[in-house]
Chains A and B, each alone.
Chain A
Amino acid sequence: SQQGEEDPQALSIQEGENATMNCSYKTSINNLQWYRQNSGRGLVHLILIRSNEREKHSGRLRVTLDTSKKSSSLLITASRAADTASYFCATDTDNYGQNFVFGPGTRLSVLP
């Protein structure tokens, strides 16, 4: 079953602009992660935010979590062409933190 739903499905921006992607989920979570997938490659873990955290930063990435609204957002600042990829949120609902459910992803295109 699909737990997370990313929004928008596709996003196209110019280099240097900020990109915001959202993820909504249905049931309570322990952790929420964001992954990036470049064309033809496996997934790369970007950032994890725990259910008791509201915001995390990693370089040009900022993730927020609102457990009352069951939603998260990923902000990429000062985007680069190399940020072109699909971005997925993944949520875990068990206490073991092993079983993640991925959303369908947001396809981001950063135009030079």
Chain B
Amino acid sequence: EAGVAQSPRYKIIEKRQSVAFWCNPISGHATLYWYQQILGQGPKLLIQFQNNGVVDDSQLPKDRFSAERLKGVDSTLKIQPAKLEDSAVYLCASSLIFPVGGYNEQFFGPGTRLTVL
């Protein structure tokens, strides 16, 4: 079974430039997550989709970050304009839909390492 795919794996940009990351979840996984992981810290949830709808984007800096999952499959995360503090690894994860009180494992992609100069 193919895992979560992400591209690019590495990106270096200058501040104020724009950047976009792509994620293709595991086939059949309706829930998709984007996390930001700053060096030395744990991942922080940015946005969660269920199919093509947003479930939680409370920690997404909406003045510069945007994400979409138009067809309920793959997703893009964009930063415009980038700041130095956006340097981090951006992780995508996916999981099945599950009932209230249940649990489904999140499967993570390898991440995109962003460096903002």
Chain A residues at the B interface, C-beta cutoff of 8 Å? 2, 4, 30-31, 40-45, 48, 88, 90, 92, 95-105
Please provide the 9 A-B residue pairs with the shortest distance between their CB atoms, ordered closest to farther: A102-B42, A42-B108, A97-B103, A43-B108, A42-B110, A102-B43, A45-B105, A88-B42, A104-B42
Whether A41 lies near B101 (C-beta < 8 A) is no
Whether B100 lies near A96 (C-beta < 8 A) is yes
Chain B residues at the A interface, C-beta cutoff of 8 Å? 4, 31, 40-45, 48, 55-56, 91, 93, 95, 98, 100-111
**11 chain-A/chain-B pairs, Cβ below 8 angstroms:** A31-B103, A41-B110, A42-B4, A45-B106, A98-B56, A99-B45, A100-B106, A101-B45, A102-B42, A104-B40, A105-B42
Classify the interface of chain B: helix, strand, loop or mixed.
loop
In Å, the complex CA distance between A13 and B12 comes to: 35
B101: contacting residue among A30, A43, A90, A100, CB under 8 A: A30
8 additional contacts, CB 8 Å, given A48-B105, A88-B43, A105-B42?
Answer: A2-B42, A4-B42, A31-B103, A41-B110, A97-B98, A102-B42, A102-B43, A104-B42
Whether B102 lies near A97 (C-beta < 8 A) is yes
Tell me the minimal C-beta distance from B94 to chain A in angstroms: 11
A97: contacting residue among B56, B101, B107, CB under 8 A: B101
Residues of A within 8 A of B102 (CB): 97
In Å, the complex CA distance between A41 and B113 comes to: 10
In Å, the complex CA distance between A100 and B31 comes to: 13
Whether A103 lies near B42 (C-beta < 8 A) is yes
Tell me the minimal C-beta distance from B18 to chain A in angstroms: 24
Residues of A within 8 A of B105 (CB): 45, 48
